[in-house]
Amino acid sequence: MKNEKKRCIASEKLCDTGFSYTLSLISGKYKMTILYTLMEFTVVRYNELQRYIKGISYKTLSLSLRELEHDGLIIRKEYPQIPPKVEYSLSERGKSLMPILDGMCEWGDKNRI
């Protein structure tokens, strides 16, 4: 019989798991909603996002978009014109998260009370 070590929860670190890393990228009140919107509508302008996500402030939307772009989940494309035009879309990395969001939507539809 092999000498197997028994796992102890006191020595485990949730912060070192893939689950924790994924959660750190999509946590926040609006990040998953932004990603879902980009999945549904492909390319979305800033004002469209703000209208679609009722109640989100300019500052919160800007910060969330910056963080999602920094984490490589979305692409920000700025057009050099007046007035400025900026469009957001999912990156390949962001698209790879969509099966997870789809699964969450399906679960929510099936388990809504």
Across 53-82, average pLDDT: 94
- Per residue in 23-46, pLDDT (tens digit) is 888 888 899 999 999 999 999 999
Does the domain at 30-111 match CATH 3.30.420.10? Answer given as no
Q: What is the pLDDT of residue 82?
A: 86
Q: What is the pTM of this model?
A: 0.81
Q: Is the peptide bond before 83 cis (omega within 30 degrees of 0)?
A: yes
Q: Helix or strand or coil: residue 39?
A: helix
Across 60-71, average pLDDT: 96
Q: Domain ranges for the chain, please list them.
A: 30-111
Does the pLDDT value for residue 12 go beyond 80? Answer: no
Q: How far apart are the C-alpha atoms of 25 and 84, rounded to whole Å? A: 28
